[in-house]
Amino acid sequence: MTTLITGGTVVSATGRTTADVLVEGEKITALLAPGAADALGVQAEKIDATGKYVIPGGVDAHTHMEMPFGGTFASDTFETGTRAAAWGGTTTIIDFVVQYPDQRIMDQYHAWHEKAAGNCAIDYGFHQILSDVQDDSLKAMDELIDEGVTSFKLFMAYKGVFLSDDGQILRAFQKAASNGAMMMMHAENGSIIDVLVQQSVSAGKTSPYYHGVTRPWQAEEEATHRAIMIADLTGAPLYVVHVSAKQAVEQIAAARDRGMNVFGETCPQYLYLSLEEQLGAVSEQWGEFEGAKWVCSTPLRSRAEGHQDHLWQSLRTNDIQMVSTDHCPFCMKEQKEMGIDDFSKIPNGIGSVENRMDLMYQGVVGGHISLERWVEITSTTPARMFGLYGTKGIIAPGADADIVVYDPAGHTSIGMGKAHHMKMDYSAWEGYEIDGHADLVMSRGTVVVDETGYIGTKGHGKYLKRGLSQYLI
């Protein structure tokens, strides 16, 4: 099938131009001057994008579909989560294969393929979590590189679940330095957090607000610095996930100023939400437990301390390179409420895979970032960072036809009963109003969302065998 998207403004990470986009089959074949296709006699189904932006589909490089955590599972399946992503203009996700200490890495990798295969609405890839770095783990890292899994995540928190000690982290980083893998780090000092949590619960301070209080910015900054030092020692590239504290940003910026391959991601919740709002969240149904809706790790930070403003600044200055969601949704009923008397038992996670593109576009409207930077941090850089660029993250001949027609004159209301298609009984973004709207979403040349809603199909999404990072110095 041949499709011509006409009249729109094509926006890339480096600029914008008025052009028509020619799609043949699953690929973009040409960018043409307006009207040139007619002059050339091209026969195509036309999509009118006049007055709208034509951008590459979003790449969300941090999701957790069906993740087992805290005695339950993330509520979105690969089917529901990728469908919700498509609604919001995201056409690629990279999800995390989970390995607990008693599990073989390759067994888990194959298990995640079984979860995702035939279920996804959009294309998907995998990162691999390493929770117990042994000789077999290092061997598996090489095997997974051949399978197109070129990034590995370690944790400095969650003792007995995910936490790796510094010696294990060192060994994994040494392997990455030799095989080119990107090392991802959940950077929080788990030992400090565990003591603070125990002290808080013993003192009767058990509401959701204390989740953030017991995961202070000092624990994030210290762990970020420690991860950077291990990366410096080994020469491995480091990608720090879900950065929320301005002090952690400063550690990343200082490492980059020294020329290191150190990168950071943040998430919409750390740009828009705050610890103060979580403290003040009370509802008739849940009382002060309402704040459990925003329990995630790293936690929300204090607005009074300036973390949100600093994160927006870091996106402008490229001290933080991109925005993912850390999409790990849990319902309030029967999931978050597991911790109704003890915040430490609340499953950690927020659902945002449907809302990321809109929320970051609102950053353009609000003057925080440019239109080009919006595309860069939500699509182009994630594709480059994780070995997908050229196929994903760009509108250019030869790229997959993952395209969003975005209307700046449109409007999106986020919340229950409106634009919410994630498998959750609440929205973290209830009541948010966005001055823009994804009118059409195309995945590999197939329209999956149009003015009538979602028209995609289960199983359309394909597994992406990724290359090494294209973002290294």
pLDDT in tens, 203-228: 999 999 999 999 999 999 999 999 99
Delimit the CATH 2.30.40.10 region(s) of the chain.
2-55+394-454
CA dist 53 and 7 (Å) reads: 9
Q: Do 236 and 177 meet the contact criterion of CB atoms below 8 Å apart?
A: yes
pLDDT value of residue 206: 97
Measured CA to CA, the distance from residue 462 to residue 148 in angstroms comes to 13
Measured CA to CA, the distance from residue 28 to residue 21 in angstroms comes to: 7
Q: Note the pLDDT of residue 473.
A: 85
Lowest pLDDT segment from 253-267, 293-307, 419-433: 419-433
Query: Looking at residue 419, what is its pLDDT?
Result: 61
The pLDDT score that the predictor gives to residue 281 is 93
Q: What is the pLDDT of residue 69?
A: 87
Q: Nearest 5°: CA angle at 351, between 449 and 331?
A: 115
When pLDDT is cut at 50, 70 and 90, the band that residue 88 belongs to is very high
Q: Give pLDDT, residue 412.
A: 94
Confirm if 227 and 156 have CB atoms less than 8 A apart. yes
Q: Where in the chain is the domain with CATH 3.20.20.140?
A: 57-385
Residue 378 reports pLDDT greater than 90: yes
Instruction: Assign 418 a pLDDT band (cuts: 50, 70, 90).
Output: low
CA dist 4 and 23 (Å) reads: 6
Task: Kindly state the percentage of the chain with pLDDT values over 70.
Answer: 99
Structure tokens at 370: 């440019």
Q: What is the pLDDT of residue 420?
A: 84
Question: pLDDT class for 415, splitting at 50, 70, 90?
Answer: confident
What is the C-alpha to C-alpha distance for residues 461 and 92, in angstroms, rounded to an integer? 9
The amino acid that residue 76 corresponds to is D
**4-34 pLDDT per residue, tens:** 999 999 999 999 999 999 999 999 999 999 9
First vs last C-alpha separation in the chain: 40
Is the pLDDT at 171 greater than 70? The verdict is yes
Token pair of 149 as six digits = 């899994």
Domain at 57-385, CATH homologous superfamily: Metal-dependent hydrolases (3.20.20.140)
**pLDDT tier, 417 (very low <50, low <70, confident <90, very high otherwise):** low
Q: Is the pLDDT of residue 348 over 60?
A: yes
Q: What is the C-alpha separation between 410 and 52, in angstroms, rounded?
A: 9
Q: Nearest Cα to 59, choosing from 442, 382, 363, 355? A: 382
The model carries a pTM of 0.97
Between CA 389 and CA 402 the distance in angstroms is 12
* pLDDT, position 121: 98
In this prediction, residue 70 carries a pLDDT of: 81
What's the CATH number for 2-55+394-454?
A: 2.30.40.10
Mean per-residue pLDDT over the chain, rounded? 97
